[in-house]
Chain A
């Protein structure tokens, strides 16, 4: 066992591989936030009048709001006046037309992360709208998508090109005053992705965005809006890594999904932002609002593998407004050292015959704290609605903590909800069974934990499976303790 423990220690202590800083001059605002900053931000991006008004409305609302404190996390108070609200990588007058024109320094960053754009171009089926800090600098496979009529572009571009779509759907799922961080995002969001899939179109590619936080002291506020028109289908991949920094960085993104009648959206995330060092110093604060609105017979599926960030506060949700709509949430959340995660989902059933599934696997190691917080709500009109929830926690080491806070609210007699939760460590019985059959402890734990997360992994698209496996390796090896 001694040998195993050593391996475990090594695995747990492994340093963050994606920790480095790309040296690019950034065009950055002075820290601080007021109406002028928002006007300036909007002006820099040349936004139409309706956007300025919308941002200011959100800002005024935000001023009246209080920072929420109900989540099971602790972190130093954030000084919102000490954050710079705009940072764009230095670039030529015009946006790069091809990869050759992209700053080579930037391309190298992607290479270090193992996601070079060249390779992705070659990897058929993946178009990348890469967000480097705040402004999208490279977009590929546009033509192929354009052929299918799919719009996939930075949201700052969409504001100009498709103002009617943006105006109609922006804030329709997450209103500008939804919560403290969503209001802040609405006021200052810098960029993000916009996707529109026309009626009846099955998106020919899996769309993917890699987010990076780069310039120091810059909060990043992405805004993603995906609209799937009637009968369409899209699978969207989001992955994140961030350079090593000692100062906490704030990340408050908003993702809105609109699935119109018979549409399907599959949204997958691998999140590996800098979690802070072994003493809990540094790391990203990840306060994200993600929500999807499902109309009649539509389906929205969230899959997430959360391994990074010092503090995570994230509840990808589904509003099942239409009859027969379906919501899904599959999550693996791993916390180590001093990481804190309070994550889960909300399934709001409003339509008849709606159904939802929640599978959440939490793994906590070190001094970390991992909480599942979820809501399943049936409105009076949610006849025959169904939900099945399973949230399991695995504890590694006696200093970690795991919590479950499910809220279940039902106002319809024919709706049925089933919720189960378990918390345990890798059981001695399971270990005994494996070892008795000649499997070494390391492998045994690997098998057991793999089985623990299997239900979620199988929901991940192929493109992400490798990355997810790599990220989870730490948890697999660390489970022997």
Chain B
């Protein structure tokens, strides 16, 4: 037996950044734990289909330098925050004005808050299972801390633009911690973008902690360029009657991986997870989701749709775990996939793990191509085959995109997806 490859020591060099003491200590501890961390291989169950795309070359071990002063974005007239190569840039940000909200970079936190944060960091994630989130914990140089006080309502969506500047080879470790207080509400848009053409790695972690009755809408767009590998993890813990609406839209890359873990910890918590992933060329996209029904009387709904074109590869792994005593749980998972060409590949693994009897759980998964009859219907009414293809394909994912509650984001996303689909059918 060949020994499993381990993380190159180059990745374990001391990271920079000006962090408050408690976070520095935490980072050092995490770094020590990573020595000889085995890298995922084909035999690692949760990396079965993606490990061959993961390329942690030594040139990626260097932290990308941060220094940008102004940022591009989706909608700069809205409140927004720029994270550049893992570091918050207040000069290029426009913080929302509301008494009930506290926003700070990790670097600017006072020792007390930093101490509290250090205790809670990574609490939402099953860290052993998400190897790359452990690397983030050992390397993050800054982060964004958002706290919504109990009862506060942020009407406008808050944009966080996470830019990776691949002007040179290296890696960035952006990190977000969002504490949504009891009965408060907000919409957060995370937009991952990149500039530059050098090979880069983004290893991001976002954590949501939802208090009782809190309501969070999270929109996550993964739009980086073709030289960037992005491995991201999102963890969320929900207390009683809290609600999480998650919308993720991702475009493929050399490697795009998103782990989304939701824990429904008290009765009445609920979540809805919508996801769209598209890929073309030789791109790769991997979505792994886990919903933990820890407490009884929780609901979850999950819908993921994927489109793979050319020689690209998409993976969906959805897991629903109903714990013992989580009676009256209702969980529904649905995954549909479109393969546009025979060179492409889609792998789906919808899992149920159930330890309570009074539950209703279901999942469905399909992989296929466009329905011939629908195509015929359109073509017989004088619509060109190409246009019919694009229409139906767009309709397939638009069902989910339409549910994105922020109009500006929805429109931009639809435009981008349309462009992708038209391109896919032109080449075919």
Is residue B362 contacting chain A, with contact meaning CB distance below 8 A?
A: yes
One of A398, A416, A421 near B369 (C-beta < 8 A): A416
CA distance A396 to B352 in the complex (A): 17
Is residue A401 contacting chain B, with contact meaning CB distance below 8 A?
A: yes
Which chain B residue shows the least CB distance to A416?
B368
Is residue B382 contacting chain A, with contact meaning CB distance below 8 A?
A: no
The answer to whether residues A411 and B356 also contact, given A404-B363, A416-B368 and a CB cut-off of 8 A, is no
Among B347, B350, B354, B356, find the residue whose CB has the most chain A CB atoms closer than 10 A: B354
One of A70, A415, A420 near B363 (C-beta < 8 A): A420
CA distance A407 to B354 in the complex (A): 18
The answer to whether residues A422 and B342 also contact, given A407-B347, A416-B369 and a CB cut-off of 8 A, is no
Are A404 and B351 in touch, CB under 8 angstroms? Answer: yes
Are B349 and A413 in touch, CB under 8 angstroms? Answer: no
Closest chain B CB from A332 CB (angstroms): 18
Is residue A226 contacting chain B, with contact meaning CB distance below 8 A?
A: no
The answer to whether residues A413 and B342 also contact, given A407-B347, A408-B347, A408-B365 and a CB cut-off of 8 A, is yes
A425 surroundings in chain B (CB, below 8 A): 357-359
A409 surroundings in chain B (CB, below 8 A): 345-348
Is residue A397 contacting chain B, with contact meaning CB distance below 8 A?
A: yes
Closest chain B CB from A468 CB (angstroms): 24
The proximity string for A residues 140-162 relative to B, scoring 1 for CB distances below 8 Å and 0 otherwise, is 00000000000000000000000
Among A378, A408, A414, find the residue whose CB has the most chain B CB atoms closer than 10 A: A408
Are B364 and A419 in touch, CB under 8 angstroms? Answer: yes
Which chain B residue shows the least CB distance to A401?
B355
Is residue A50 contacting chain B, with contact meaning CB distance below 8 A?
A: no
Is residue B45 contacting chain A, with contact meaning CB distance below 8 A?
A: yes
CA distance A395 to B361 in the complex (A): 12
Are B349 and A407 in touch, CB under 8 angstroms? Answer: yes
CA distance A421 to B366 in the complex (A): 12
Among A399, A412, A416, find the residue whose CB has the most chain B CB atoms closer than 10 A: A412
One of A380, A398, A405 near B357 (C-beta < 8 A): A398
One of A378, A403, A406, A420 near B354 (C-beta < 8 A): A403
Is residue A393 contacting chain B, with contact meaning CB distance below 8 A?
A: yes
Is residue B3 contacting chain A, with contact meaning CB distance below 8 A?
A: no
Are A423 and B1 in touch, CB under 8 angstroms? Answer: no
CA distance A383 to B357 in the complex (A): 40
CA distance A400 to B327 in the complex (A): 13
A397 surroundings in chain B (CB, below 8 A): 357
CA distance A170 to B45 in the complex (A): 31
Are B363 and A66 in touch, CB under 8 angstroms? Answer: no
Give the total number of A-B pairs whose CB atoms are below 8 A apart: 119
One of B327, B362, B366 near A416 (C-beta < 8 A): B366
The count of chain B contact residues (Cβ–Cβ below 8 Å) is: 37
CA distance A423 to B366 in the complex (A): 18
CA distance A398 to B357 in the complex (A): 5
Closest chain B CB from A446 CB (angstroms): 18
The answer to whether residues A415 and B367 also contact, given A408-B348, A409-B347 and a CB cut-off of 8 A, is yes
A405 surroundings in chain B (CB, below 8 A): 349, 351
One of B353, B360, B365 near A419 (C-beta < 8 A): B365
A406 surroundings in chain B (CB, below 8 A): 348-351, 365
Are A395 and B354 in touch, CB under 8 angstroms? Answer: yes
Which chain A residue shows the least CB distance to B325?
A398
CA distance A419 to B333 in the complex (A): 12
Is residue A28 contacting chain B, with contact meaning CB distance below 8 A?
A: no
A403 surroundings in chain B (CB, below 8 A): 351-354
Are B368 and A417 in touch, CB under 8 angstroms? Answer: yes
Closest chain B CB from A229 CB (angstroms): 33
Is residue B64 contacting chain A, with contact meaning CB distance below 8 A?
A: no
Are A423 and B344 in touch, CB under 8 angstroms? Answer: no
Which chain B residue shows the least CB distance to A413?
B339
Closest chain B CB from A249 CB (angstroms): 28
The answer to whether residues A398 and B358 also contact, given A66-B1, A70-B45, A416-B366 and a CB cut-off of 8 A, is yes
One of A400, A412, A420 near B342 (C-beta < 8 A): A412
The answer to whether residues A408 and B342 also contact, given A395-B354, A417-B367, A425-B357 and a CB cut-off of 8 A, is no
Please report which residues of chain A, range 451-478, place their CB below 8 angstroms from some CB of chain B when the two chains form the complex.
none
Which chain B residue shows the least CB distance to A423?
B361
11 new A-B contacts, CB < 8 A, other than A398-B358, A417-B366, are A393-B352, A398-B357, A401-B353, A405-B349, A408-B347, A413-B340, A416-B366, A417-B365, A419-B363, A421-B352, A422-B361
